[in-house]
Every structure is written in structure tokens, then in C-alpha cells.
Amino acid sequence: MQRRPILAVLGTAPLLAFGTARGETTSACAAELGQAPEALLRLAARLRRLAEDGLDPRLYAIPADAAIAGSSAVARADLLQAAGAALTDLLHGRVQEPASRPDIRRRPEAIPLAPWLAELAGAAEPAAVIDRAALLPPDAAALKRALAAARERVATARAQPPVPGFEGVEALEPGASDPLRVPALRARFPDAPSGEDPTLYDPALVEAVKRLQAAHGLEPDGRIGRATIAALNGTAQPTMIRSLRAALDMRRAAAPPPAGRRIEVNIPHQRLQVLDGNRVLLEMAVIVGKPARATPPLRTALTAVQLNPPWGVPVRNAREDLLPKFRANPRAMVEKGFRVFSTVEGQLVEVPVLSIDWRMVSAERFPYVIRQEAGEANALGRLKFIIPNGDDIFLHDTPDRGLFRRAERALSSGCIRLERPMELLALVLEGTAGWDRARAQRVLDSGKTTHVPVARSLPVRLHYSTAVVEGPEPRLRADIYALDEAYLRALDAPRAPRIAALTGDR
């Protein structure tokens, strides 16, 4: 998306482009600026507080107060230019749509700049225009509060002695006593009522810790280990601040979701939702790609379901994941339904697994094609949901059900594993003639591989949103693929470059 020139309407003067040579605009701007000097000083002060909106004030060349108060025409014109640039970024987002982030789409035409810039130029209190623009995006108020609170926690943590760590010590459990760590905890939560025993990690203190854990995207279980200590001591706050800044900018001029039913997968939060408008029809935990095999942000559609799918193993999975298992116990791999093929004169020819000396097989020059037949042990489970894309990503069942009990589930090779695939199947089959959950269950029980095109394809978005607002306070998860960091580099650049593509094979 190319950013159009920033235009300002100054009274009855012609439209003037911010960003042109200063000498071309100074006299016209100075002639038309009608705000009182005090209002202009308040505007300058508001621009210097752009950090509260997640923006870097240093990028806007805000003139000094002395020059503004001294009725310098150049300074006043520069101030309006800085304000116009900030207003544009607050309304449309500072970062352009990154080519590697199809989950981020903006609709700037829905927020025309000209009326806002005209109001900025003519308002008696131009700082108020900046305030309104800053709160326009969805969730902006909650994200700004969280950003301010995170910065305050950094300052507070630096001013207090750190809560002692856990080197060689077990995590602190609710109900335990600790004469060293519990008093330090109480100092961090002065509003938590204290019982008779100041060394007891009592329920009131546990609840305060749980709230902090939830705010940091940690499992809110009250157990205090290394991650919670990092949150308490402020060492986790800089990452939280960066994610909140990115979240604020991503929401500016964001395109609305498609009408009707859709599937949303939040990669950092490892959650899937089926929505109809704003109504949640289904929600479940998912397993996403590990950092070395990241799940890419995508926009696509669910078009078909495969019952009892076989698994054509990607080369990377074969050589990195399966080759060590074939070397360790090839017979067990046969029992799990794995078959091995070699290419002979352009044709795939099956090679008996037990006839291969797997110790001599090279991972770098892996010579085989591996397939796992449908069955209970199949890595895809019994269901595969097809979402066409260039990265060969799909949604699927899994036999490893215990992994969904983990708080951190970035464990796959890129595809999305589903906690409750049968419930998703029931929803996507609605309207498909001759199919319902009962028939699907009969086919699954038969073990027969069956491909079912769905009558109504569902839009699917795999998005990377570390900050989610579902109540008064945002919930944050770790920036597992460093995409927030990449976004922030663009946000803080003097110009907004496109973000580098997400790398890594899947």
C-alpha cells in the first residue's frame, strides 16, 4: 500500500502537502494558523506524549516551545506539519501493510484524512483532535492503559529490591511459607490483605499473583517460578511494552472481518475460534508451530475435510524427526503404519522398511519418500481440514491429546493441531448434502480415507496477535516468532519500510 501525500486544509487556503520543502509552506501556514499560542503549546506537549500511543515522538520533529511561544512562523508551520504526520499515523497506522503479514489489512479509505487535517488546522484546541484520533481504533483505550501500567511497573520494579529468584530452589506453591520470598512479594502487592502469618503465601496474595500472571500471558496458577519472577522484577516488562506498542499500531484503520461465519486462529495465544459476526460459536486450544518451524500468518478458506487421512511426510520432517526413530526402532515404525518409497525411473517403488540399514541413511541427502497410512497412530489423527495455501499448512486432529494440557503449545512443525476436531467437523459440515456428524463417525470407524468438499467454505485467518482484549485488561502472550519485534523495527524507523518476510521451512 503506497501512502498518499498528507494534505491539510488551512482555512480557505489551497490544500498543502506536508512533506514538501519547508520554504514552500511556511508563509501560507503561518498566515492561516489561527490557534492561540497557549493552544499550540498544548499541542506540542501532546505530541511529545505520543509515547503513550505507542509512537516515538522523536520521529516527528516537534519544534521547541520557545520558538512556538515566540510567534515564529517557521516553528508554527513545523508544529502543524508534525501534528499532521502524527495524526495520519494515529488514524492509518505508521507501518504500511507488510507483504509477509497477510493477517494485517488496513482500510484507510474508511477514515478520510482531509476532514481530520482540516479540523486539526482550525480547532481552537488542536491537542484534543490528536486525543480523539488516538482513541479511535478498537481496544485503543485498554491497550493504552496497559502500556502505561507496564511502564509504571518498570519504574516501580527498578525502585524496589528484586524478589529473590529460584536458582536451585523449588517454585513457590500456594499455601507455602517462605520467610525470604513472601515478604518481598507482599511489598509488590500492598493492596493484598495480609493474614496473621506474614511469611505465608496466602489466598489473597495468590490471587494478586494470578492477576499478574494473566496480564503477562502466563498460566494463572499462582505458582511462582522463573517466568513469574521475571514479571515481578520488571525484566519481562520491556517485551510487554513492545508488544502493546505493536498492537496499538496494528489496529489502526484495520479492515473489518468478513461477514458471516469464519475461523480465526490466534497463533501466539494458541486458540481457535469459529465466529459468526461477533458471536463465538466454538473455541478451543490448538498446537502451533515451534519457533524453528513457525506457523505463517495466512488468509485462506476451509474448502474440504479428509476423514482418515494418510500422511505424506514432508522431507524436513522425514530427515529431522523420523530418521532418528527409524534408526532406533524400525519395527516400531512399521507398526505405526509408516511405509517407505524410493524413486526408480520416475516411479515410486516401495522399499521394505526392515531391509534398509538406517544407520547409513544420510539426513542431508535423504533418499526416500515416507508415507504413514491412516489409523489410530497417524500423526494427523483421524481428521484433516484442508485450507489451500502455498505453505502446505492445514488443521488436523492428533493422537497426542495430552499436549493440550500445556500452557505453552508451540510444538508442531507448522500445521495446526486441534483440541476438539469433531466439534469443528460438525460445524463445517452444516449444509453439506448427505453429511452430518453421525455419518462422519461411521466413515471414521470404517477406517476408509474419504474426501468431503464442504458446501459452504469458511474464511480462515491465521493471525499473529500477542495482545488480546476480551475484558477490561489485555491478555498478552510471548512473541514466539519475534514478529512483534520485526513490526516494531518498522514502527520506529524514520520511514516505514515493509517488514521482512517470515523465514523458515515448514
Neighbours of 393 (CB within 10 A): 22
Q: What is the CA radius of gyration of the chain?
A: 28
Report residue 99's pLDDT band, with 50, 70 and 90 as the boundaries: confident
Percent of the chain at pLDDT > 70 equals 88
The residue written with cell numbers 525411473 in the block is 345
- Whether residue 17 has pLDDT greater than 70: no
Strand, helix or coil at 417? strand
Q: How far apart are CA 123 and CA 137, in angstroms?
A: 22
Count of alpha carbons within 13 angstroms of residue 210, beta-carbon side: 13
User: By the 8 A CB rule, do 454 and 428 touch?
Assistant: yes
Q: Tens digit of pLDDT for each residue in 399-421?
A: 999 999 888 899 999 999 999 99
Contacts of 174 (CB under 8 A, 6+ apart): 201, 203, 206, 222, 223
What is the reported pTM?
A: 0.81
Q: DSSP of 8-48, one letter per residue?
A: E--TTSPPEEETS-HHHHHHHHHHH--S-HHHHHHHHHHHH
User: By the 8 A CB rule, do 382 and 369 touch?
Assistant: no
Q: What is the pLDDT of residue 227?
A: 79
Q: How far apart are CA 459 and CA 417, in angstroms?
A: 18
Q: How far apart are CA 499 and CA 348, in angstroms?
A: 41
Neighbours of 490 (CB within 10 A): 19
DSSP state of 391: T
Instruction: List the catalytic residues.
Output: 396, 415
Report residue 392's pLDDT band, with 50, 70 and 90 as the boundaries: very high
What's domain 261-310+376-465's superfamily in CATH? L,D-transpeptidase catalytic domain-like (2.40.440.10)
Q: What is the dotted CATH code of the domain comprising 163-232?
A: 1.10.101.10
Report residue 211's pLDDT band, with 50, 70 and 90 as the boundaries: confident
Q: DSSP of 419-450, one letter per residue?
A: S-HHHHHHHHTTT-TT--HHHHHHHHHHT--E
Average pLDDT over residues 325-339: 95
- Domain coordinates in residue numbering, the chain: 6-140, 163-232, 261-310+376-465, 312-372
The angle at the Cα of 147, spanning 145 to 150, to the nearest 5 degrees, equals 110
Q: Is residue 363 packed enough to be buried (19+ CB in 10 Å), middle (13-18) or exposed (0-12)?
A: exposed
- Whether residue 45 has pLDDT greater than 90: yes
Q: What is the pLDDT of residue 196?
A: 81
Q: Tens digit of pLDDT for each residue in 159-200?
A: 677 777 655 566 888 999 988 888 888 888 888 887 788 899
